[in-house]
């Protein structure tokens, strides 16, 4: 997988958290920590998109009983 180098500036407090997280979760690098964080962001965005999408397959509130009678009335 091709990669690109990215340079970021973090506060000392954030960098301390990144390093602690890396050690606690046995990750090899700070890059792994950032990639894990971005994966969580993607997942959160995906879940938000799913919950915002209309339920197209949910027909539980549709009354299909006596359909023929309604069709006759509309003619």
The pTM of this model reads 0.62
Has residue 73 been placed in a domain? no
The count of structural domains within the chain is 1
**Distance of alpha carbon 75 from alpha carbon 71, whole angstroms:** 7
27 within a domain of the structure (yes/no): yes
Asked if residue 68 belongs to a domain, the reply is no
| Structural domain that includes position 20 | 10-52
Q: Pick from 9, 11, 31: which is nearest to 21 by CA?
A: 31
**Residue 41 lies inside a defined structural domain of this protein:** yes
Q: How far apart are CA 3 and CA 36, in angstroms?
A: 16
Burial 45-71 (b: 16+ CB within 10 A, else e): eeeeeeeeeeeeeeeeeeeeeeeeeee
Residue 71 lies in a domain: no
Q: Convert the pLDDT of each residue in 7-32 to its tens digit.
A: 999 999 999 999 999 999 999 999 99
In a domain, 45, yes or no: yes
User: Is there a domain that residue 67 lies in?
Assistant: no
Answer whether residue 35 shows pLDDT above 60: yes
| Structural domain includes residue 1 | no
């Amino acid at each position: 997988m091709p990669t690109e180098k990215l340079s970021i500036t973090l506060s000392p407090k954030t960098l301390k958290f990144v390093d602690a997280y890396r050690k606690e979760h046995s990750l090899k690098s700070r890059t792994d920590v950032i990639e894990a964080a971005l994966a969580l962001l993607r997942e959160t965005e995906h879940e938000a998109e799913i919950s915002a999408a209309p339920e197209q397959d949910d027909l539980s509130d549709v009354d299909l009983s006596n359909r023929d009678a309604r069709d006759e009335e509309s003619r």
